[in-house]
Amino acid sequence: MPTDQRPTTSIDLFASVTECGCAAKVPAQELAGLLRGLELPTSPAVLVGPDTLDDAGVYRLSDEQCLVQTVDFFPPVARDPEDYGRIAAANSLSDVYAMGGTPLTALAIVCFPSQLVRQGVLGDVTRGAVEKLREAGCVLLGGHSVLDPQAKFGLAVTGLVRRDAMLTNAAARPGDVLVLTKPLGTGVTIMAVRAGLAGAEQERAANRTMATLNAKAAELALRCGVRCATDVTGFGLVGHALQLARASGVALELGLEGVPLLDGVAAFAEQGLLSAAAYTNRDYAGDAVRFDDDVPEPARDLLCDPQTSGGLLLCCPPARVAELLAGARAELSAPCGVVGRVVEKSGGPTIAVHRQAVAVATAGGAP
């Protein structure tokens, strides 16, 4: 069933969970604490490990070829089982795309209540996931399942990336332009759907953007000389941008008015339709992020809103921005936007958030 149709199943998966999608992630601050003091097994072949909090790990197989590995799963993020499967698969695959890689194989991770298994819901979820794997050219090899009172589904994905084409979150350079390839607002929209405050088209739009693969965005980024990227998921735009800035040793400026948003999300944020993860994301950012006084409080919340299967945050060389934006208009189904720029690290906050869009000169001469 296409994601732009109303669900026909009588099952509403939101009724079975307390947290949804990437909002269920362990807070970033607590994850960072878990790794402190641990001596992790490593190898000279590990090119990207856990130290930079990147989207996936990268292991060198040869001078040219590298292995990309990731795992991602979460509770239902849509009411309809097939939509949930599509979104969970797109989200899992995104980590490989964010590294510039091509997904090859996947293993399913299933935690499901026995009643929903008997009712065929797990089969519907898997059907949706397989649809996205087929679109990605990725093979499902198998998986593992356990009975669990709260449903969770996702994939462990293995891919390949050429070493000279690898994207990481540690390669940003001052002068790079920050481009986001999907609109923000899935977290507050999900909360609005659960509260009965989102319209049918708003729900469909959120499901469509979450189920959209980041494959084309990654291909476009590589064509335009991008070498630094991350996908925006459970820690929100600010949280993932902060991890990128720290890994790269730079600072960032974000411009609120340049950030693409799903329809209606500003109103949802004003109504306080936020998950607990939005607040833990703001706590994680702390003093490392400074908001200008004229940035409204609901907008600050939106920048910390946990996203599920969000877009790629790309650090584009300024001479290639016009090419990237033109390609995005022609090839991407979701609106993208220039959300900021990379600057030299100084003694101030790592991220400065302004209300106005950040003016960026492109090769075509237009900001």
CATH homologous superfamily for 177-354?
PurM-like C-terminal domain (3.90.650.10)
Among 101, 109, 107, smallest CA distance to 57 is for 101
What are all long-range contacts of 335-338, with beta carbons under 8 Å and residues at least 24 apart?
A: 335/183, 335/260, 336/179, 336/180, 336/181, 336/182, 336/217, 336/260, 336/311, 337/179, 337/180, 337/183, 337/258, 337/259, 337/260, 338/177, 338/178, 338/179, 338/255, 338/258
Domain 13-163 identical in fold to domain 177-354: no
DSSP state of 152: E
pLDDT value of position 364: 45
pLDDT for 7:
42
For every residue of 103-142, DSSP letters joined together read EEEEEEEEEE-HHHHHTTHHHHHHHHHHHHHHHHT-EEEE
Residue 297: how many other CB atoms lie within 10 Å: 11
Burial (Cβ within 10 Å: 0-12, 13-18, ≥19) of residue 364? exposed
Q: Could you tell me the residue ranges of all domains in the chain? A: 13-163, 177-354
- What are the structure tokens assigned to 2, written together? 């296409």
Question: Among 230, 260, 259, 81, which residue's Cα sits nearest to residue 169?
Answer: 230
Q: Within a 10 A sphere around the Cβ of 13, how many other Cβ atoms?
A: 23
Residue 247 has pLDDT above 80, yes or no: yes
- pLDDT at residue 42, rounded to an integer: 87
**pLDDT exceeds 80 at position 97:** yes
Measured distance CA(222)–CA(216) in Å, rounded: 10
Name the residue among 159, 163, 171 with its Cα closest to residue 227.
171
Question: In which element (H, E) is residue 322 found?
Answer: helix 321-331
> Pairing relation of β-strands 65-74 and 312-316?
unpaired
Question: Strands, E, within the chain: which ranges?
Answer: 46-48, 57-60, 65-74, 102-112, 139-147, 152-162, 177-180, 228-231, 251-255, 289-291, 312-316, 337-343, 351-354
Binning pLDDT at 50, 70 and 90, where does residue 363 land? Answer: very low
Closest CA to 291 of 351, 339, 359: 351
Catalytic residue positions, numbered: 22
Q: Which residues pair with 312 in a beta bridge?
A: 231
Residue 122 to residues 10, 35, 86, 164, Cα–Cα distance (Å): 14, 34, 13, 40
Q: What is the pLDDT of residues 273-330, one digit of tens each?
A: 998 899 999 999 999 999 999 999 999 999 999 999 999 999 999 999 999 999 999 9
Query: Which CATH architecture group holds 13-163?
Result: 2-Layer Sandwich (3.30)
pLDDT at res. 348: 87
Amino acid at 276: A
In which region does residue 365 sit, left (phi positive, over 0), alpha (psi from -120 to 50) or beta (all else)? left
- For 203-219, write each residue's pLDDT tens digit: 999 999 999 999 999 99
Q: What is the pLDDT of residue 21?
A: 61
Using CA atoms, how far apart are residues 246 and 304, in angstroms rounded to an integer?
A: 17
CA atoms of 105 and 47, how far apart (whole Å): 20
Counted residue by residue, the chain has a size of: 367
- pTM attached to this predicted model: 0.91
On the question of pLDDT at 367 being above 60, the answer is no
Amino acid found at 241:
A
Name the phi and psi angles at 340, rounded to 5: 170, -160
